[in-house]
Structure 1
Amino acid sequence: MSDDTDFVALYNELGLDAECSMLHFKHAYRRRVMQLHPDHQRQPADVARLQRLNRMYAAALDFHRTHGRLPGASRPTPAAADEDAGATPFVDTLAPAPTPAFVTPGRAWTRESESANDIEIDAGPAPVTGFPRRRRYLLMLALLALALYWWGAQKTSTPSLDPAGPGDAVSPGLGAPDLSLRLAVGMDHPQARRILGDPESEHAARWDYGPSWVEFRCGKVTGWYSSPLRPLKVDEESAHAATAEVPHC
């Protein structure tokens, strides 16, 4: 079955079955065209899907003209014009029925114009007359967010003389002290305390931090053990140079 005669997909697209009336069939088709047409503002247009819907709809109308029923129907399907006299007009309860997109602007809709436009529907993209207001607002918000992000990054990287301010963010080369964030071999007691904090148990040659510990000799760090249960902020690479860097008392 080709795409043009895939009537199961057509009925699924329109939300109908093969036993529906022609009046409901045409109303459902026009409502679906509204949703897929490029002029529709409530959701993005799908031109390829609309063109395929047009071909399947035209094939269904040809089948009805030849066999007197819709494809897959078990009984004859009366034409939409025959039902208008005695049947209750179909009312769309889901959404207000706007003017069909395929009716020429400024021209009153009639049933003759409906028949003439059943198959030939211009599905090409509509000319863009202006940038939608909603997209303009979204673009302005995105630019504002980028400006705020850039301003915050510049503020964070600006040196501060306030002791309570972001002192660690001082740019190198401005005379700021070199504040190490990890313990290294050869550091003294004040540096170790600033990085690791106060130990749980403190001795001249060893500080204990729970299962972890740091060893000292002559007031300088000589080594450590960083337990996975309480890891220490240490420089693992400096441990390999412990013999060369640790001074002798």
Structure 2
Amino acid sequence: MSDDTDFVALYNELGLDAECSMLHFKHAYRRRVMQLHPDHQRHPADISRLQRLNRMYAAALEFHRAHGRLPGASRPTPVPEDEAIDAVPFVDVPSPGVTPAFAASARAWTRESEPANDVDIEAGPAPVTGFPRRRRYLLMLALLALVLYWWGAQKTSIPSLDPAGPGDAVSPGLGAPDVASRLTVGMDDEQARRILGEPDGEHAARWDYGPSWVEFRCGKVIGWYSSPLRPLRVSEENAHAAAAEVPHC
């Protein structure tokens, strides 16, 4: 086995095994290149090691093109549909007099190619720790609707001081005073006037309503006659108080 096809050494260099995915393989290569690059600020440069890594990486890709799997893998290693196998460029080993502009471009290339925040790809997507924005929006609308409904119910349940306001009218028979609607014996003249209206002719002892009439004594009704031609609002056509019921002035 030549030094360029020592795939065991390649996997050890990248910290992977032969059964890894192509996505992990490419990302591990990017990370290791930047660690070995002369412009890396945290590790000393190792140009010879970087050159050997490039050769082993190229040999591994060539093996994948020929066999559909990475060297040493027991099953095919598919390439993601949205990424061609040649999408990861090789990093040329710079000369000792590398310029700062090259270092800046290399760091930008690393930021674009690396997963965000160094998330471990094998660990899967980060768990959802909160409601998505749309669900939070719908929840806020539902809470607002409940508050408005409760506020409306409270408003309609409190009686208004406005006599014309809704819900304040008292239905007949529900707490309303019992007001007589028909003439009865013993009723005073004010009640009689309210029920029958103004008479055609008014005397101290008798009120005339056309052919009908009402008799009074001491301001109290003691009898009446209700003609079919002009009926009065009475319980019966004719009524007369008994002698014992006639008031004495």
Give the TM-score taking structure 1 as reference length. Answer: 0.37
Answer with 1 or 2: which has the greater Rg: 2
